[in-house]
Structure 1
Amino acid sequence: MYHRPHPTGNKHASSATHAAARSVQFTATRARGLWKENAARERERERDRDRRPPPEVATVQCTLHRADTAIIGDTLDFSTLSVHELNGTAVSPAAVLAGLQATDHDDVFYHLWVAARHAIDESGGRRLDKRMIRDAMERLMVEVGIAMYERSGGPQLTFVDPRRNDDAVAMVRSARRLVTLFHARGMSQREIVISIPATEAGVAAARELEANHGIHTNLILVASLMHAAVCAEARATTISIAVGPLLQCHERKRNAVYQDLALHPGIEIIQATLAYFKFHEIRTRVVGRDFRAMPEISALPGFDAVCLSKEQLDVSLWKAETRSADFPARSPQASMRARQAQHPTTFLESEIGFMELMSAEARGMLAAAMFPALGKMELQMNAIEKLVMEEVAWQLALNTLSLGALYELRDAPPSNPTGKTRDPESNQVGARAGSEGRRRMPLGEATGRQNEGGLIEGVEYF
């Protein structure tokens, strides 16, 4: 016989089934709710990321500004000087020669024309001589310096003829003439800094200019800590360390290449010099220049200012800072060397010269760093002088030409379409380099039929 189930048992089973169904339904609903909440949070995070500014990249130039390191433009590319935010400008023999040799513009050559015109007018139209050439070269430095100053502002670092590095009297006279010319063009004397090689005569000249004439000086080619201390003893306004050449001297001495700049002995010497000036609160400012690569700038953050070329200025705008956090601003050895160095020094009180008071090793390193650079500057100045002499001679000769000869010059085809020649051995500019392509006709041809005033003997015109 079939028996129906007890109603109580069915009731318990039904309750369990309904509870399980409600549990499953609650879990699914909760999961859908959590999914919606997570999706909303993710969308909010994405909106926050979109609203948040991108992380700031610490470029080399930003790092220099944050460290209060002045940036000086070491280029005669006037468009570059106009674009970058600079604290000053500097000119060197290499920059002037490069500007005169430039094939894509005549900016510097125009200033050479103006300088030659001024030198001729002030001489009263006399015959070409060494003084006229000297005046034209100094005028060229002033014309170029004024053009740089108008585009950038800030101090203008110019230079005396480095070929006179062993004649203190000549360098003092040249510096005073330059300051007078700049002042006549409206520049304040405090905005003019005269670069002088840090030879014994150069240090003496800087000491004289600073103490007795109030002229700011920049002693260049400083090669060691004690060499820098001597320059500070002379009360120079600034000193300049040519970083790349100095590091190269240490590499040649040890016949080694240092991939890690933290281990480079030249870096340690420069760090010690920077620490010495900061420990003793010396007022002379230290400028770094002639860097071979951007990592050298990052490895030496203690400079008061850095001179950067056109390429380095452009790269520093986007190049990220490469110095790691564990790279020391100065090594313990550099700090110890700086604290142990003599201060104040009395080298300039000696009658035998400060180089004789240095150790043989220090003298050797100074000579290895300074004299090759002076030799290179001499070649550059010789090339500049040749171009200046040719321009002055050309303008003097034009004053004697008849109207017919001038028309012949205007209508004649170029005598040298290539424009420039170069001696690969000496890296000097050849005859009429930089100016030949800008001429119409050799003066010898133009004056072959008529030479009323006569050309100047001993001057090569073509």
Structure 2
Amino acid sequence: MNKLEQLKQRSQVVADTGDIEAIRRYRPQDATTNPSLLFKAAQLPQYNDHIAEALVWAEDRQNGSNPEDIARLAAIKLAVNIGTEILQLVPGVVSTEVDARLSFDTRATIDYARHLIALYERAGIAKERVLIKIASTWEGIAAASVLEREGIHCNLTLLFNQAQAIACAEAGVTLISPFVGRILDWHIANSDREAFSAQEDPGVISVRNIYEYYKSRDYKTIVMGASFRNTGEIEALAGCDRLTISPQLLQALEDSEAPLAAGLPPVSASLSRPAQDLAEAEFRFQLNSDAMATEKLADGIRNFVKDQERLELLLQDRVKGQQNIHAATNPQAV
């Protein structure tokens, strides 16, 4: 077996892409998307029909003809359209992200998540097949706690340290996505090291510690390693509940016939290891005390916002183009 086949025997493999063809090619269990991936996908010709349908839908529901308002609504529908198509190809779930501009607004995050689920259900997709992706801020975790009690399952993303992981588990979220590669990036940028072996990789160590903490205390929250920079990181975390992997690294794993590395050792629950219940003040203090986690969380939110806005600008251009065509062919309607 190649390394990808070996990995699938030890962890559930998730495709970290919105590219339908890549998902069809690698046959993952689940798929996860984000604003950056959707922006890239929206520029591919095979998504033109999804974009056109989303724009028509948004225009029908948007009072007036403001391209900005239409584009913002169409972006939500486009995410659901692509998620719906992905679910025709994977047996499991798809993750769809809440607008990162709402990362510090609990109520707005809840409302946005409910809207996404309602759109999926209208498309014939049961809510059990969707994970709502939310940034692991205190406000995002609070929103996820409410949503989980409603039966809306959540994927807490942009997770970089133990405090975030503990708060998520205590909130009862379905899944967390601790970021491996971005932790590595920070340590390379802020030290005299140019490289780390897989076993000493700080991102790998962070996920290993979170995994051990969860399993030793019998938390049900799923750990899904994310944001990998190389296959060595992936192999070091083989055995983790789930791993979400880019198409490029999936291909690299598939191309190798070598034995897969040992990965994570098994962990058994122990009553001698009590859980830690973090209050808001302690959560914020621990997060603030971790320069890497604080900087990468803020940076991740900013980048997702930037790509969300770029996606909406792309959709605005489509709206304006259609409006100009309509004005030219129907001058009396202007």
Which residue is 2:317 aligned to? 390
Instruction: Return the offset for 1:305.
Output: 1.0
Q: How does 1:169-318 map to 2 (within 5 A)?
A: 169-211=107-149, 213-318=150-255
Alignment-mate amino acid for residue 355 of structure 1: R
Which residue is 1:457 aligned to? none
Which of 283, 291, 305 is the matching residue for 1:378? 305
Note the residue ranges of structure 1 that are not aligned, 5 or more in a row: 1-56, 404-450, 455-462
2:257 and 2:275 mapped to 1: Cα distance?
39
Instruction: Return the offset for 1:265.
Output: 3.6
For residues 405-449 of structure 1, give each alpha carbon's deviation from its aligned partner in whole angstroms, at most 9, with x where no partner exists. Answer: xxxxxxxxxxxxxxxxxxxxxxxxxxxxxxxxxxxxxxxxxxxxx
Alignment root-mean-square deviation, CA: 2.6
Which residue is 1:355 aligned to? 284
Instruction: Return the offset for 1:323.
Output: 5.2
For residues 63-106 of structure 1, give each alpha carbon's deviation from its aligned partner in whole angstroms, at most 9, with x where no partner exists. Answer: 22221x1111222332222232221111111111112234xxx1
Which residue is 2:47 aligned to? 108
For residues 258-278 of structure 1, give each alpha carbon's deviation from its aligned partner in whole angstroms, at most 9, with x where no partner exists. Answer: 442223343322211111111
SS at match of 2:178: strand
For the 8 Å contact 1:70–1:304, the answer to whether it is kept is yes
Which of 249, 254, 264 is the matching residue for 1:329? 264
Which residue is 1:87 aligned to? 29
Larger Rg: 1
* 2:275 paired with 1:344: yes
For the 8 Å contact 2:58–2:70, the answer to whether it is kept is yes
2:134 and 2:246 mapped to 1: Cα distance?
20
For the 8 Å contact 2:76–2:116, the answer to whether it is kept is yes
Which residue is 1:366 aligned to? 293
SS at match of 2:304: helix
1:304 and 1:173 mapped to 2: Cα distance?
29
Instruction: Return the offset for 1:158.
Output: 0.6
1:320 and 1:100 mapped to 2: Cα distance?
35
For the 8 Å contact 1:61–1:316, the answer to whether it is kept is yes
1:277 and 1:95 mapped to 2: Cα distance?
29
Pick closer, same or farther for the CA change 1:354–1:394 going to 2, 3 Å: same
Alignment-mate amino acid for residue 126 of structure 2: S
2:140 and 2:183 mapped to 1: Cα distance?
19
* 2:6 paired with 1:63: yes
Instruction: Return the offset for 1:285.
Output: 0.3
SS at match of 2:159: coil
Pick closer, same or farther for the CA change 1:88–1:329 going to 2, 3 Å: closer
* Range that drifts further, 179-188 or 383-392: 383-392
For residues 375-400 of structure 1, give each alpha carbon's deviation from its aligned partner in whole angstroms, at most 9, with x where no partner exists. Answer: 22122111111011222333344444
1:274 and 1:199 mapped to 2: Cα distance?
20
Alignment-mate amino acid for residue 321 of structure 2: W
Instruction: Return the offset for 1:359.
Output: 6.9
* Range that drifts further, 183-192 or 91-100: 91-100
For the 8 Å contact 2:18–2:33, the answer to whether it is kept is yes
SS at match of 2:235: helix
- Return the structure number with greater relative CO, CA threshold 8 A, min gap 6: 2
1:129 and 1:170 mapped to 2: Cα distance?
22
For the 8 Å contact 1:71–1:307, the answer to whether it is kept is yes
Which residue is 1:78 aligned to? 20
For the 8 Å contact 1:72–1:87, the answer to whether it is kept is yes
For residues 318-352 of structure 1, give each alpha carbon's deviation from its aligned partner in whole angstroms, at most 9, with x where no partner exists. Answer: 32356555xx6369xxx9xx98x97423224x4x4
Which residue is 1:452 aligned to? 332
2:117 and 2:305 mapped to 1: Cα distance?
23
Which of 31, 56, 61 is the matching residue for 1:117? 56
Alignment-mate amino acid for residue 5 of structure 2: C
**TM-score for both structures, normalised by structure 2:** 0.90
Alignment-mate amino acid for residue 305 of structure 2: E
2:258 and 2:274 mapped to 1: Cα distance?
34
**TM-score for both structures, normalised by structure 1:** 0.67
SS at match of 1:176: helix
Which residue is 1:46 aligned to? none
For the 8 Å contact 2:15–2:32, the answer to whether it is kept is yes
Identical columns (%): 24
1:395 and 1:142 mapped to 2: Cα distance?
22
